[in-house]
Amino acid sequence: MVAAVRGAVAAMCMSGMRELTVRAGLVEATPPEMITDEHAPAAVRRLPRRGRDVLVVVAHWAYGATGGVVFDRIPERVRSRPGAGPAYGVVLWLGFEFLVVPLSGLRFRHGGSVGQRVAFAADHILYGAVLQGGGRRHVSRRQRP
């Protein structure tokens, strides 16, 4: 449960960073928006923009929570190493870039600028850093003296 919450909070941090990069003009559309616009069922695409936006954010947070649970399953000796969280975030981003995009035919592959890709890499590094807890090792109640 803690891992899922940490993953959701990390995704929320990404959402904030994404808002900044969109408003700064570095990012035209985020991957969750692209996926929703291009591959969501017709019922979702017919929702008013505000409803679709809320759905996209909540789905991203749920995906982030799932990523937190997966990260928690990585052996402690690997997960606790400095930089493991940010590296995990980068691996997730590269998986999107080199697996999800080509397999799904998203337009991102053809239209992504260098600035947009740097912004996506940065927000995934942030996700991983928050997920790892800033490099601090999480100690459960059972482990505390």
Residue-level pLDDT at 6: 94
Half-sphere exposure of 95 (CA within 13 A, CB side): 8
| For residues 84-109, average pLDDT | 84
Residue 83 carries which DSSP code? Answer: T
**What tokens were used for 14?**
């990404």
> Is residue 90 within 8 Å of residue 67, measured between CB atoms?
no
Give the model's pLDDT for residue 141: 44
Residue 56 has pLDDT above 70, yes or no: yes
Instruction: Output the pLDDT for position 111.
Output: 55
Spell out the residues 6+ positions from residue 97 whose beta carbon is closer than 8 angstroms to its own: 109, 117
Judge whether residue 112 has pLDDT over 80.
no
- Bin 133: left if φ > 0, else alpha if -120 < ψ < 50, else beta: left
pTM metric for this prediction: 0.82
Reduced DSSP (H G I as helix, E B as strand, rest coil) percent helix, strand, coil of the chain, to 5: 75, 0, 25
